[in-house]
Amino acid sequence: MGIKNNINPGTLNCNTEHMIIYTDGSYDPTSGNASYALVLEEDGEQYNQYESEKIPEVQNNYCAELFAILRALINIQDEQSVTIHTDSQSSIDAINMYSQLHEEDKCKFCENNLLQAIINETT
């Protein structure tokens, strides 16, 4: 059972062929809470739709950023394309590197479930 099985379906509704989604994730070590946010740009208008909530079982900012990217991908319909804007270069690097690793090397990542779910959404 992967992480995607525990994630609700997307809430953004866009009828265009191409979506532009801005993502962010954060973690507060004092409270132990992580959260994410998505903002959909539609027809050049930002903040038309958004999605945000706390993330269960996330213990760092990096995983919160990855979770936000995964949520953006979950919101895409099969026939749509997407541009995702993130401020997390480490997430972009990890996604690019992870997809090129051999299966036995992938298990070395503690973020394995998030990264694999992202790769699954993009293929």
Q: What pLDDT digit, counting tens, does each position of 72-100 carry?
A: 998 887 788 889 999 999 999 988 888 78
**Range with lowest mean pLDDT among 14-18, 32-36, 60-64:** 14-18
In SS3 terms, 25-71 reads as EEEECCCCEEEEEEEEEECCEEEEEEEEEEECCCCCHHHHHHHHHHH
Top-level CATH class of 18-122?
Answer: alpha beta
pTM: 0.80
Q: pLDDT category, 113, cuts 50, 70, 90? A: confident
